[in-house]
């Protein structure tokens, strides 16, 4: 529990960034409160605007519904004329008496044309005599688009359904929808209330829906009769209205709205007429109805946009005058911590406090650089002395001039094999003597020294010794310490293989992905446990040098020199076991020149 409390205290007490502390105070102390105030005002304006829009739409819908109700009543009155004016009934009675069908047809068609041909709410009128359903009397209102095709549709498609509905109708009036057409249906009855004919008036849908187009934001409308689509305006919203009407039909109110402030709006009007329920569904264009809300949102955005420049200016001021100078000081301090002594900060501050801080830092950094340079030169001198001492152990003192004389004598006598071996030996001696006292040379020079040794070995053992090399040519000019490859090759020849039978050697030189140079010498010998123990002892700091052979001392010197120059990550690493070939790896840091 105490540990948890300490962790909580550390979290609250830990140092925080000055920059973000100022940003938090600016945001939470000023920007967010003002933002919330503007948001609340905008929200209430949007809510009020939405309520006003709903009220306007509901009022318009109610008025449009009253107009459609009047149109339906007008059609109903027109349909009653066929019963109450007795023209059709008397003509039908005469026909039953004298059998003059042509006179009956003329009288009926004249009456239908007079009553319905010019009625603005009707498209066509059809009269079907029940004793002869195949005989039909009709009238077309051409001004409303009535054509013979409408008559054919009634005869082929709508008649059977209408006659079936009329059987249950008695003396009332009802509506019937057939494939997008709407018919007002009424029975004509005798004095004994026995139906003898059915009158169907096809209603003019555009005329009935015309009043709804005046609703603010109107996009489309549909009329449903007992839950079945009766008629709809043209548009993509017909399917949308059909999907939502079933839920709307469950409502008990006569007038209600669907849709929120941020959604599309649908308004519904319920009417109980003709023994059924009519529901008018109107889809409102949200781009129009939300115009007031959008204006509030735009005002909100504009106010926020005007606030942003002030916030940015304040943040820029604190960043330029406070956080950036502090960040420069922190960055420079971290650079000094990482060893970049003597670093200087550009000091152009216009306030006295930060100017003095930067000036003091520059003076301190310069003083540290001078002190560490002095100490570093002393350490470098001491390290060079150690390296020279190690190199002196492997620098043989032979007389190169004497070998040159012997080489000329061999050539004069035609013994070119001996001459070649003497030249290789002379190359090795010249490299070990190091007349120019250079600590580094190129890989190409280092390989020339190793090649001289390999030439002598190949001449000595002939076909029993084979050597292959895989060298990245772009690394040939990289500078490396002198005499690091030949001692490893010599150790592989002397201790790593049985050259009296068959000795194979492979030299690989490449740059690793981590930027280190790897020089691998692989022989076909197997590293036993005794060999492993001897190598570990030889490369350890506690080895007794007086008991080791010259070749062993050579590989130890190589390892120590690399560690002195490049650090403990570099050096000589020998791997393998009694089942694998032995691989001696020289690892050192390099700076590979880029190709031009």
Residue pLDDT, tens place only, 303-332: 777 777 777 777 777 666 677 777 777 787
Burial level of 258, CB count in 10 A (0-12/13-18/19+)? middle
Which residues span the domain enclosing 479? 458-589
Q: What is the pLDDT of residue 385?
A: 44
189 falls within a domain:
yes
Domains contained in the chain, number: 2
130 falls within a domain:
yes
Which contacts of 108-111 are long-range, i.e. CB under 8 A and separated by 24 or more positions? 108/137, 109/137, 109/138, 109/139, 111/82, 111/85, 111/87
188 falls within a domain:
yes
- Residues sharing a CB contact under 8 Å with residue 564, sequence separation 6 or more, in sequence order: 383, 386, 387
Residue of 90 and 363 predicted with greater confidence: 90
Contact 124, 118 (CB under 8 A): no
Lowest mean pLDDT among 279-283, 302-306, 397-401, 424-428: 397-401
pTM of the model: 0.45
Residue pLDDT, tens place only, 52-102: 777 777 888 888 888 888 888 888 888 888 888 888 888 888 888 888 888
Which residue, of 260, 289, 318, is where some domain finishes?
289
CATH of the domain at 580: 3.30.565.10
Beta-carbon count within 10 A of 288 CB: 13
Which residue, of 289, 317, 349, is where some domain finishes?
289
CATH of the domain at 246: 3.30.450.20
Residues 178-217, buried b or exposed e (16+ Cβ, 10 A)? beebbbbbbbbeeeeeebbbbbbbbbbbebbbebbeebeb
| 169: confidence class by pLDDT, cuts 50, 70, 90 | confident
306 falls within a domain:
no
| 581: confidence class by pLDDT, cuts 50, 70, 90 | confident
Report how far residue 54's alpha carbon sits from residue 47's, in angstroms, rounded to the nearest whole number.
Answer: 11
Residue pLDDT, tens place only, 421-458: 666 666 666 555 555 567 788 899 888 888 878 887 88
- Residues sharing a CB contact under 8 Å with residue 45, sequence separation 6 or more, in sequence order: 296
**For residue 271, what is the enclosing H or E element?**
strand 265-273
| 406: confidence class by pLDDT, cuts 50, 70, 90 | low
Contact 443, 475 (CB under 8 A): yes
Would you give the end-to-end CA distance of the chain in angstroms? Answer: 65
Beta bridge partners, 509, equal 471, 519
Q: What is the pLDDT of residue 362?
A: 80
Residue of 54 and 167 predicted with greater confidence: 167
355 falls within a domain:
no
14 falls within a domain:
no
13 falls within a domain:
no
387 falls within a domain:
no
Which residue, of 289, 314, 349, is where some domain finishes?
289
- Residues sharing a CB contact under 8 Å with residue 322, sequence separation 6 or more, in sequence order: 18, 19, 22
Beta-carbon count within 10 A of 162 CB: 21
**Encoding tokens for residue 429?**
């001696």
- Residues sharing a CB contact under 8 Å with residue 568, sequence separation 6 or more, in sequence order: none
Residue pLDDT, tens place only, 223-271: 888 877 877 766 544 554 555 555 555 555 566 666 655 566 778 888 8
Q: What is the pLDDT of residue 252?
A: 54
């Amino acid at each position: 529990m105490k540990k948890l409390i300490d962790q909580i205290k550390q979290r609250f007490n830990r140092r925080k960034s000055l920059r973000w502390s100022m940003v938090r105070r600016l945001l939470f102390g000023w920007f967010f409160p003002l933002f919330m105030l503007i948001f609340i005002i905008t929200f209430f304006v949007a809510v009020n605007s939405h309520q006003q829009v709903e009220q306007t739409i509901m009022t318009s819908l109610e008025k449009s519904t009253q107009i459609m109700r009047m149109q339906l009543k007008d059609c109903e009155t027109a349909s009653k004329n066929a019963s109450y004016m007795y023209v059709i009934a008397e003509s039908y009675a005469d026909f039953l008496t004298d059998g003059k069908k042509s006179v009956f047809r003329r009288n009926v068609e004249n009456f239908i044309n007079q009553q319905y041909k010019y009625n603005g709410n009707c498209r066509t009128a059809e009269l079907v005599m029940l004793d002869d359903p195949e005989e039909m009397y009709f009238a077309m209102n051409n001004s409303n688009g009535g054509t013979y095709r409408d008559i054919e549709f009634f005869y082929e498609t709508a008649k059977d359904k209408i006659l079936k509905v009329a059987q249950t109708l008695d003396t009332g009036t009802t509506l019937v929808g057939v494939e997008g057409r709407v018919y007002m249906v009424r029975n004509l009855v005798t004095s004994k209330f026995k139906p003898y004919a059915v009158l169907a008036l096809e209603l003019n849908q555009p005329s009935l829906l015309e009043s709804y187009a005046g609703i603010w934001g109107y996009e489309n409308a549909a009329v449903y009769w007992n839950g079945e689509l009766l008629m709809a305006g043209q548009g993509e919203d017909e399917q949308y209205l059909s999907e939502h009407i079933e839920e709307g039909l469950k409502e008990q109110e006569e007038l209600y709205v669907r849709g929120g402030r941020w959604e599309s709006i649908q308004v519904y009007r319920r009417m109980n007429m003709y023994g059924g329920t009519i529901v008018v569904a109107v889809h409102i264009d949200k781009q129009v109805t939300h115009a007031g809300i959008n204006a509030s949102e735009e005002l909100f955005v504009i106010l926020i946009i005007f606030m942003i420049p002030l916030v940015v200016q304040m943040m820029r001021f604190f960043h330029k005058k406070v956080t950036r100078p502090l960040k420069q000081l922190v960055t420079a301090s971290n650079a000094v911590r990482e060893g970049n002594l003597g670093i200087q900060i550009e000091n152009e501050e216009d306030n006295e406090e930060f100017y003095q801080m930067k000036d003091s830092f520059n003076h301190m950094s310069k003083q540290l650089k001078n002190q560490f340079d002095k100490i570093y030169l002393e350490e470098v001198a001491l390290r060079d002395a150690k390296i020279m001492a190690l190199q002196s152990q492997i620098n043989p003192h032979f007389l190169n001039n004497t070998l040159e004389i012997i080489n000329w004598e061999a050539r004069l006598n035609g013994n070119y094999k001996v001459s070649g071996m003497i030249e290789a030996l002379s190359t090795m001696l010249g490299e070990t003597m190091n007349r120019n006292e250079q600590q580094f040379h190129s890989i190409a020079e280092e390989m020339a020294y190793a090649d001289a040794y390999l030439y002598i070995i190949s001449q000595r053992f002939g076909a029993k010794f084979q050597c292959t090399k895989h060298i990245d040519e772009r690394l040939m000019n990289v500078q490396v310490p002198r005499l690091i490859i030949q001692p490893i090759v010599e150790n592989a020849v002397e201790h790593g293989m049985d050259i009296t039978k068959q000795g194979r050697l492979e030299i690989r030189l490449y740059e690793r992905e981590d930027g280190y140079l790897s020089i691998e010498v692989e022989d076909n010998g197997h590293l036993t446990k005794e060999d492993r123990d001897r190598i570990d002892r030889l490369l350890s700091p506690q080895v007794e040098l007086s008991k080791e052979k010259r070749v062993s001392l050579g590989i130890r010197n190589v390892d120590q020199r690399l560690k002195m120059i490049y650090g403990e990550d570099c050096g000589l690493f020998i791997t393998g076991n009694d089942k694998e070939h032995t691989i001696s790896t020289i690892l050192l840091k390099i700076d590979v020149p880029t190709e031009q």
